[in-house]
Amino acid sequence: MHARLSHVPFCVPFVDADSRLRHAQAMSLLHDRVPVIDISGLHDPASADPASPGGHRAALQIGEACRAHGFFYVSHHGVDPALIERLDRLARVFFALPEEQKQRWPMGDGGRAWRGYFSAGGELTSGRPDWKEGLYLGAELPPEDPRVLAGTPLHGANLWPDVPGLRDTVLEYLAAVTAVGQRVLGGIALSLDLPPAYFLTHVTADPLVLLRLFNYPVVPDAAEVDAPWGVGEHTDYGLLTLLYQDDSGGLEVHGRRGWIEAPPLPGTFVCNIGDMLDRMTAGLYRSTPHRVKLNRGAHDRLSVPLFLDPSFTSRVQPIPGLPPAEDDSASRWDASNLHVFAGTYGEYLMGKVGKVFPELGASVLP
């Protein structure tokens, strides 16, 4: 049996007015800023030892952040800073190449694997272009993998630009940050009074792991571009996103009391929950809209999100025992009701990504 937390999400665990006031003040702060959570005590959810006392403390903080606005920073995550610095440097080497050279690895050549490069303005959010360029990557699968042989979308080989060291660095980073994501999901499970391996058992034993290298070119104050945002308002589709951002900033989160900034903090990843975790928790933990401002700074802005999603064929179901979800489509940015969807995660995802690159979607995806 796993150790039960002292906090149950559906109850207020305080017995006096002073404690309730302190809790209300703490939650008010969560609405105004994105909290930083030390996850050093969270263990691999497949471990026999689910968490140290520090891990249980982190789980409580994660649960509060997920109920407040679904965003938090994770610190003491264990990823080698030298690996992060190397990925940052090599990504900048790639994006500094001439446009015609970067176009040697276009997304059209990635086919159903949905990998490759797109230029600034080439990706849409809510039908409008974002002002960023990017390189789509993911778990590297050989041609004999059954999912590749079956033509499963978003599975396959990456298109590796001719940048020495980039391939090995990306694959090392994928493995390291995916492990962090699994630990965070273990903390989320503990925050819901579930066994730490709950998500690993039900949806992430064979996760869909996708990585994006994004570069936001500088837009001078006097310049006009076709895109109103670096990235427009949206929620992420899967379970969990872990974002590395450089020192430029620009990320904004739509909290309950309006938009708040999530500035870069050295040594952390920004973590946010996606639509499938919203669905699994019956709306208790909500996927939160966020956006990225145009880059009006002095130099290009780099960010690297890793998406830890359910397996493509999994049918993502609500966690048993939670109160029924309410239809919140009237308040969602996309007016959708996550809780009535009945297909696989792959079907949900493909209904989304084809809108991001409409022409590519029409040519290579079902």
180-213 pLDDT per residue, tens: 999 999 999 999 999 999 999 999 999 999 999 9
pLDDT higher than threshold 90 for residue 345 = yes
223: confidence class by pLDDT, cuts 50, 70, 90: low
Q: Is 277 helix (H, G, I), strand (E, B) or coil?
A: helix
153-172 pLDDT per residue, tens: 999 999 999 999 999 999 99
139 contacts: CB under 8 Å, gap ≥ 6: 155, 174, 208, 209, 210
Question: Domain 58-364 adopts which CATH fold?
Answer: Jelly Rolls (2.60.120)
**DSSP letter string over 77-142?**
----HHHHHHHHHHHHHHHTS-HHHHTTSBHHHHGGG--EEE-TT-SEETTEEBS-EEEEEE-B--
Question: Which residue type does 307 have?
Answer: F
CA–CA dist 95, 102 (Å, integer): 8
48-102 pLDDT per residue, tens: 666 678 889 999 999 999 998 899 999 999 999 999 999 999 999 999 999 999 9
33-49 pLDDT per residue, tens: 899 999 999 988 987 66
Evaluate the CA torsion angle 129, 133, 138, 143 in order and state its sign: positive
pLDDT higher than threshold 90 for residue 8 = no
In sequence order, the β-bridge partners of residue 38 are 75
110-151 pLDDT per residue, tens: 999 999 999 998 888 877 888 999 999 999 999 999 999 999
114 contacts: CB under 8 Å, gap ≥ 6: 107, 136, 138, 153, 154, 353, 360, 364, 365
CA–CA dist 62, 66 (Å, integer): 6
pLDDT of residue 138: 97
Q: Where are the domains of the chain?
A: 58-364
pLDDT of residue 222: 63
Strands (E), 226-353: 231-234, 240-245, 251-255, 258-261, 269-273, 290-292, 301-309
Q: Is 71 helix (H, G, I), strand (E, B) or coil?
A: strand
